[in-house]
Amino acid sequence: MSLLVVFAHGKDSTPWGTKITHLAAIAKKHGALSLSPDHSSMDNPDSRIKHLLSIPELKDPKYSKIVLVGSSMGGYVSCVASQTIKPTGMFLLAPAFGITWYPVQYPEPGCTNVEIVMGWQDETIPVQNVVDFGAKYKTKLHLLNSDHRLQNIIPDLEILFDNFLINLK
C-alpha cells in the first residue's frame, strides 16, 4: 500500500506545528509520505482549498490510499477538498464547522471514513457544531477533555490516529 497523508493546518498555526509533527511520525510508522502545505499567508478558506487541490502528489496513481488530516480551518478545508479528492479517509481535529462566514457551514465529506477529535472546552468552535456535523454525516466522534488546540491530549491523538491508519488496511 502506498499511503499519502496530507495535513491542513489551522488559521493561526504553521505547517509543521506540534500536532502535525506528532501525527506525521505516526504516519511515517505506517510507511506514508506526509505533506503539510503552508497556508499561513491565506486567511480565506477558499484560497486554502484551491492550494490544497493543486498538490501534484494527490494526482499520482502510486498513492493507492490518501488521508486528509485537518485542524480547525484546515478541517473545513480538508472536508471541502475531499469532495474532489475522494480520499480513503479524513482525520479532523476541532474542525471549523458551522462558521457563518464560511461558504458552506457543514460541507459534505467526500468519503465515509471520517473521524473527528474535539475538545469539550473548545473556546473557538462550539462543540455542538461538530456534534451536529457528526450526527448528520455519521462520523466517528471523540470528545475529549481539552480545548481548541488539543495540546494536552497529543498522546491520545497519536493513539487515535494510529488506530485510524491501522483500520484503513
Q: Are β-strands 114-119 and 89-93 bridged in parallel, bridged antiparallel, or unpaired?
A: parallel
Print the domain residue range for 100. 3-166
Given a cut of 90, is residue 46 above it in pLDDT?
yes
Residue 169: its pLDDT value, please?
A: 66
Residue 128: its pLDDT value, please?
A: 98
Give the number of domains in the chain: 1
Query: What is the average pLDDT value for the chain, to the nearest integer?
Result: 97
Q: Summarize the confidence of residues 97-116 as an average pLDDT.
A: 96
The three grid cell numbers given for residue 38, joined into one nine-digit string: 503552508
Q: Summarize the confidence of residues 32-44 as an average pLDDT.
A: 96
Task: Give residue-wise pLDDT tens across range 59-79.
Answer: 999 999 999 999 999 999 999
Q: Which residues contact 68 (CB under 8 A, 6 or more apart)?
A: 6, 8, 78, 79, 81, 82, 85, 87, 89, 90, 91
What is the model's pTM?
A: 0.97
Q: How far apart are CA 62 and CA 2, in angstroms?
A: 6
Task: Give residue-wise pLDDT tens across range 107-141.
Answer: 999 999 999 999 999 999 999 999 999 999 999 99
At 1, the pLDDT band (50, 70, 90 cuts) reads low
**CATH number of the domain within which 29 lies:** 3.40.50.1820
